[in-house]
Amino acid sequence: MKYIKRISALLFAVSMLLLCFPVFASFTVTAEPDPTEEHPWRGDLRRMNDLSGILTQADSDELNEKACDLALKRRFDFVIILYTDEHKGSDEDARYINYIYNKNRLGYGESRDGIVLAVNTQHQTFIMEAFGRGSEIFTDNAMNELSFAVRNAFKNGRYPAAIDSFIDEAAQRVGVSPYRYDGDADYDEDAVAYSELTGLNEYDMPDWYPEDVNAWVFTPASPDAPRVVDDADLFTDDEERRLEERIAEIAPKYQADIVIFTDVSTHGLSHGVYAADFYDFNGYGYGPEHDGFCLMICMDPADRGGWCCVTGAPRALYTEQNANDLDDVLYEYLGNGQYFTGVYDWIGNIGTLLDKGIPFAPPWYPSRNEDFIRRNDPNKPRIVDDGGVLTAEQETALAEKAKRISEKYGLDVVIHTTGSTYGLSSSNYCRDFYYYNGYGFGDKYTGTQLTLLTDGSGYVNMLPEDTDSTKLTPTNIDRLIDGAQGPANSGDYYKAADRWLNYLERTLKTGRTPRTPFVWGMRSLIASFVSLIGSGIHMAGAKSSMKTVRTAYTAGEHLTRDSMGFESTRDEFIRSTVSKVYSPVSRESSSGSSGHHGGSSYSGGYHGSSGSSHSGSGRKF
């Protein structure tokens, strides 16, 4: 019995060791001392540790390389751990993370500066812990902003994107390291490789960079200071002049600086921080908040990409949607080597953003800097084919029919086709088109509008504007949309518009909207099916209740007294709905080669090395 207990205890101990083994599976624990000034960072350990096995090896290696690279450049450790309950056992998550960090002596420098992102893939939750100098950098507010960015990227299980976002955002928060590279080539192999590639020392900052960031004081740039600084030599002299002229047309008008900066290196900084530092340390910006934009393009072969840094009041306009729309176009040009064309176009789009609040506003969209007064405009065309899908004869036929309905029933009737909603939501675009183009009768601007999106999405929208008619009920509006939906889905936009007008006229006349042939067919099919089932049930019931044990010779003998009666019946109508899904327009270059639509890294709030706050977005190309 004594031996059995000993064996049981031994087996239990072995099982506990096996259970704890995954904790150290990706960390090679050695007898190395804590980081010191001479050896500030443990380079023998992975920083991307996928204990749960949810990443591909290629993704894991790429993220590990990035985390290690930035750790050396920032003098700050970035650690990621993916795990499950099996790995942490009964420990709380925070205790488990602290144990791994301390047991493996992670962190940079004597104070072991660093931050950990720990993701429990089993429960799809994550925590972040900062250590050493990180506890001063990552305040509660900074942690909340960082968590928000990571949480958005984790949607739909996008682990590589979320981790990449964490590394970028955290590195931007850390900014410039207080330590300088000391030229120890044996220690910093990354810097040696960079020097061999570019002929530059990555940690020798450019001339405009202050010697002591903490002692730096903002000094406004001269109005005559260059707004195009092309250290990467991407533009000719004539192109630089044209870019400066374009900026001079826009920046003073909207009181927002626009700066273009190119370089062959970010000198160990992230694109976002480097762009912010160039803007801040050179004194750019309008007003007390230094309003403006700085587009930085880095041509480092190993880190080629760009970043738009936004400061002051324009940050409210630089939403993630607007940023992605701007970058979709810009990086198509940059990816194809059309640097001047892309930047010149970008400056104009920034001007549109400052003027109208969206970067690709249609011509009729009003300026946000002027008061808009709504008016009735009887001279506006009521059939507007911006999508270019109707012939002249079709437009004329639709216009005549719309006019007849309008005059007979006293409401404006408008049909509009478009290939894009210009960055607006589909419903807002439809409403704004009616509102800003002077449509509608009387003080209430009474009318209705059909909008057909011709980008292949099949999106159909109907706007009833302050109609007094009790006939345009929600149910009838749904049926009117359904009537146009089928032809629109098949690309027959004229048939969609014509059917909508016919159904509208019938609705205004009778109060009932005709159903589409598809709905009638489905109703008939379902009714037939239900009828067959019902008949079968009744036949089975009738058969089971038959009594034929004797012969009946008169009709009366077939009846059971008091057994006949009537039951009330009712018709069941089946409601058919069609879901309408909008897909944003993708902008593609003629070569269709190198753009990444909607794929920018975006930050709604980060800090440059000076401590100033910015928004921004960027991509690699």
Q: What's the token pair of residue 347?
A: 């400056």
Give the burial class of 12: count Cβ atoms within 10 A of its Cβ; 0-12 exposed, 13-18 middle, 19 or more buried: exposed
Closest CA to 604 of 172, 13, 14: 172
Q: What does residue 482 show for φ and ψ, rounded to 5 degrees?
A: -60, -35
Closest CA to 267 of 74, 113, 64: 74
- Helix-then-strand count for the chain, H and E: 17, 14
* pLDDT given for residue 271 in this prediction: 93
Distance CA 439, CA 423 (A): 22
Non-local CB neighbours of 530 within 8 Å, separated by 6+ positions? none
pLDDT tens across 482-494, in order? Answer: 999 999 999 999 9
pLDDT tens across 422-460, in order? Answer: 888 888 999 999 999 999 999 999 999 999 999 888 889
Distance CA 498, CA 477 (A): 16
* pLDDT given for residue 158 in this prediction: 79
* 357 has a pLDDT exceeding 60: yes
* pLDDT given for residue 297 in this prediction: 97
- Virtual CA dihedral for 205, 209, 212, 214, nearest 10 degrees? -120
Give the mean pLDDT of the chain.
79
Q: What's the token pair of residue 269?
A: 């900084």
* 350 has a pLDDT exceeding 60: yes
Q: Where are the domains of the chain?
A: 22-174, 213-365+603-620, 383-510
**Residue 525 three-state SS:** helix
pTM here? Answer: 0.60
pLDDT tens across 126-185, in order? Answer: 899 999 988 888 888 778 878 877 777 676 567 888 898 889 888 877 764 433 334 343
- Could you count the other beta carbons within 10 Å of the beta carbon of residue 269? 28
Q: Tell me the pLDDT band of 103, cut-offs 50, 70 and 90.
A: confident
Q: What does residue 292 show for φ and ψ, rounded to 5 degrees?
A: 160, 180
Distance CA 326, CA 321 (A): 9
Residue type, 349: N
Q: What's the token pair of residue 139?
A: 């305040």
- Virtual CA dihedral for 52, 58, 62, 67, nearest 10 degrees? 20
Q: Tell me the pLDDT band of 465, cut-offs 50, 70 and 90.
A: confident
* pLDDT given for residue 529 in this prediction: 53
Radius of gyration over alpha carbons of the chain, in Å? 34
**Residue 17 three-state SS:** helix
Q: Tell me the pLDDT band of 39, cut-offs 50, 70 and 90.
A: low
Average pLDDT of 332-343? 95
| CA distances (Å), origin 94, targets 64, 126, 377 | 22, 10, 65
Question: What fold is seen in the domain 22-174?
Answer: Diaminopimelate Epimerase; Chain A, domain 1 (3.10.310)
* 264 has a pLDDT exceeding 50: yes
CATH pick for 213-365+603-620 out of 3.10.310.50, 3.40.50.880, 3.40.1010.20, 3.40.50.720? 3.10.310.50
Give the burial class of 30: count Cβ atoms within 10 A of its Cβ; 0-12 exposed, 13-18 middle, 19 or more buried: exposed
Residue with tokens 């010149």: 344
Contact 95, 85 (CB under 8 A): no
pLDDT tens across 401-412, in order? Answer: 999 999 999 999
The 8 Å CB, 24+ separation contacts for 38-45 are 39/187, 40/75, 40/108, 40/109, 40/110, 40/179, 41/71, 41/72, 41/75, 41/77, 41/108, 41/109, 42/104, 42/105, 42/106, 43/68, 45/104, 45/106
DSSP state of 381: -
**Residue 115 three-state SS:** strand
Helices 339-356 & 320-335 angle (0-180, nearest 10): 160
* 90 has a pLDDT exceeding 90: no
Asked if 213-365+603-620 and 383-510 have one fold, the answer is yes
Question: What fold is seen in the domain 383-510?
Answer: Diaminopimelate Epimerase; Chain A, domain 1 (3.10.310)
| CA distances (Å), origin 171, targets 76, 138, 501 | 8, 11, 58
* pLDDT given for residue 573 in this prediction: 26
83 versus 23: which is more confidently predicted?
83
> Residue 82: which H helix or E strand, with range?
strand 77-83
Contact 328, 337 (CB under 8 A): no
Distance CA 27, CA 621 (A): 34
pLDDT tens across 558-613, in order? Answer: 333 333 333 322 222 222 222 222 223 333 333 333 334 457 889 999 999 998 99
Closest CA to 54 of 19, 88, 96, 82: 82
Residue type, 495: K
Helices 271-281 & 159-174 angle (0-180, nearest 10): 30
Distance CA 187, CA 466 (A): 73
Going by DSSP bridges, is the β-strand pair 601-607/460-465 parallel, antiparallel, or unpaired? unpaired
